[in-house]
Structure 1
Amino acid sequence: MWSYYVYLKGAINTYLEDPKQVIETLAEVRPTAMVSVPRLYEKIYATVMNRLETASVLKKLMFKKALETGDRYYNTLKEGKSVPFGLSIKHKIYDKLILSKIREVVGGPKNFFSAGGAPLEQSIEEFFFSCGLLICQGYGLTETSPMISYNTPGCFKFGTVGKPVPDCDVRIADNGEVQVKGSQVMKGYYKQPEKTAEVMENGWFKTGDVGEFDADGFLKITDRIKDLIITSGGKNIAPQHIQTLIGKDFYIEQILAIGDRRKYISALVVPSFEALETWAQRKQIPYTSMEDLVEHPDVIAFYQKRITYHSKPLAQYETIKQFRLLPNAFTVETGEITPTLKIKRKNINEKYKEIIDSMYE
Structure 2
Amino acid sequence: MREFSLPALYEVPADGNLTDLIRRNAAQHPDVAVMGRKVAGTWTDVTAKQFLAEVRGVAKGLIAAGIEAGDRIALLSRTRYEWVLLDFAIWSAGAVTVPVYETSSPEQIQWILSDSGASLALVETAAHEASVESVRANVPALKSVRQIDGDAIARLTEEGADVSDALLDERMSTAKADDPATLVYTSGTTGRPKGCVLTHRAFFAECGNVVERLKPLFRTGETSVLLFLPAAHVFGRLIEVASVMAPVKLGCLPDIKNLTDELAAFQPTLILGVPRVFEKVYNGARAKAQGDGKGKIFDKAAHTAIAYSRALDTPRGPAFGLRLKHKIFDKLVYTKLRAVLGGRGEYAISGGAPLGERLGHFFRGIGFTVLEGYGLTESCAATAFNPWDRPKIGTVGQPLPGSVVRIADDGEVLLHGEHIFSGYWNNEAATAEALADGWFHSGDIGTLDEDGYLTITGRKKEILVTAGGKNVAPAVIEDRIRAHALVAECMVVGDGRPFVAALVTLDEDFLGRWAAEHGKPAGSTATSLREDPELLAEVQRAVDDGNSAVSKAESVRKFRILSAQFTEEAGHITPSLKLKRNVVAKDFADEIEALYNAPRTTA
TM-score by structure 2 length? Answer: 0.55
Paired residue for 2:488? 253
Change (3 A) 1:6 1:203: same
Paired residue for 1:17? 254
Supply the AA of the counterpart residue of 1:320. Answer: V
Q: Which of residues 447, 450, 453 in structure 2 aligns to 1:218?
A: 453
For residue 50 of structure 1, report the CA deviation from its aligned partner: 4.2
Paired residue for 1:342? 578
Measured against aligned partners, the alpha-carbon deviations of 1:8-37 in whole angstroms (never above 9, x if no partner) come to 223222222222322232222221001111
Q: For the residues of structure 2 that align with 1:285 and 1:31, how far apart are their CA atoms?
A: 39
Q: For the residues of structure 2 that align with 1:315 and 1:201, how far apart are their CA atoms?
A: 34
Change (3 A) 1:300 1:66: closer
Change (3 A) 1:284 1:53: closer
Q: For the residues of structure 2 that align with 1:289 and 1:158, how far apart are their CA atoms?
A: 36
Paired residue for 1:283? 518
Q: Which has the larger radius of gyration?
A: 2
Moved more, 226-235 or 138-147: 138-147
Paired residue for 2:398? 163
Measured against aligned partners, the alpha-carbon deviations of 1:245-292 in whole angstroms (never above 9, x if no partner) come to 110001111111111111111111110112212322343334776423
For the pair 1:327 / 2:563, whether they are aligned, the reply is yes
Paired residue for 2:593? 357
User: RMSD between aligned alpha carbons?
Assistant: 2.7
For the pair 1:71 / 2:312, whether they are aligned, the reply is no
Paired residue for 1:8? 245
Moved more, 240-249 or 150-159: 150-159
Supply the AA of the counterpart residue of 2:297. Answer: K
TM-score by structure 1 length? Answer: 0.89
Aligned residue pair count: 358
Moved more, 241-250 or 307-316: 307-316
Partner SS state of residue 510, structure 2: helix
Change (3 A) 1:187 1:8: closer
Matches within 5 A, 1:172-211: 172-211=407-446
Q: For the residues of structure 2 that align with 1:66 and 1:342, how far apart are their CA atoms?
A: 32
Give yes or no for contact 2:511–2:525 (8 Å, CA) kept in 1: no
Partner SS state of residue 41, structure 1: helix
Measured against aligned partners, the alpha-carbon deviations of 1:162-205 in whole angstroms (never above 9, x if no partner) come to 11112212211121110112222222112211111221112111
Change (3 A) 1:102 1:180: same
Q: Which of residues 448, 451, 464 in structure 2 aligns to 1:229?
A: 464
Give yes or no for contact 2:305–2:326 (8 Å, CA) kept in 1: no
Q: Which of residues 495, 498, 507 in structure 2 aligns to 1:263?
A: 498
Paired residue for 1:317? 553
Moved more, 301-310 or 104-113: 301-310
Paired residue for 2:333? 98
Partner SS state of residue 14, structure 1: strand
Give yes or no for contact 2:406–2:415 (8 Å, CA) kept in 1: yes
Paired residue for 1:128? 363
For the pair 1:47 / 2:284, whether they are aligned, the reply is yes
Measured against aligned partners, the alpha-carbon deviations of 1:338-357 in whole angstroms (never above 9, x if no partner) come to 11110001110111111101
Change (3 A) 1:282 1:49: closer
Moved more, 168-177 or 113-122: 168-177
Supply the AA of the counterpart residue of 1:4. Answer: V
Give yes or no for contact 1:137–1:160 (8 Å, CA) kept in 2: yes
Q: For the residues of structure 2 that align with 1:58 and 1:329, how far apart are their CA atoms?
A: 31
Supply the AA of the counterpart residue of 1:108. Answer: G
Change (3 A) 1:51 1:231: farther
Runs of 5+ in structure 1 lacking a partner? none
For the pair 1:117 / 2:355, whether they are aligned, the reply is no
Supply the AA of the counterpart residue of 1:6. Answer: S
Partner SS state of residue 250, structure 2: coil
Measured against aligned partners, the alpha-carbon deviations of 1:134-171 in whole angstroms (never above 9, x if no partner) come to 11111112212233111121232111111111221221
Supply the AA of the counterpart residue of 1:131. Answer: I
Partner SS state of residue 6, structure 1: helix
Change (3 A) 1:67 1:201: same
For residue 223 of structure 1, report the CA deviation from its aligned partner: 1.1
Partner SS state of residue 119, structure 1: coil
Q: Which of residues 33, 39, 45 in structure 1 aligns to 2:270?
A: 33
Give yes or no for contact 1:150–1:165 (8 Å, CA) kept in 2: yes
Q: For the residues of structure 1 that align with 2:538 and 2:252, how far apart are their CA atoms?
A: 37
Supply the AA of the counterpart residue of 1:279. Answer: W
Moved more, 149-158 or 50-59: 50-59
Moved more, 307-316 or 1-10: 307-316
Identical positions, percent = 34
Give yes or no for contact 2:311–2:317 (8 Å, CA) kept in 1: no
For residue 123 of structure 1, report the CA deviation from its aligned partner: 0.9
Give yes or no for contact 1:228–1:239 (8 Å, CA) kept in 2: yes
Partner SS state of residue 276, structure 2: helix
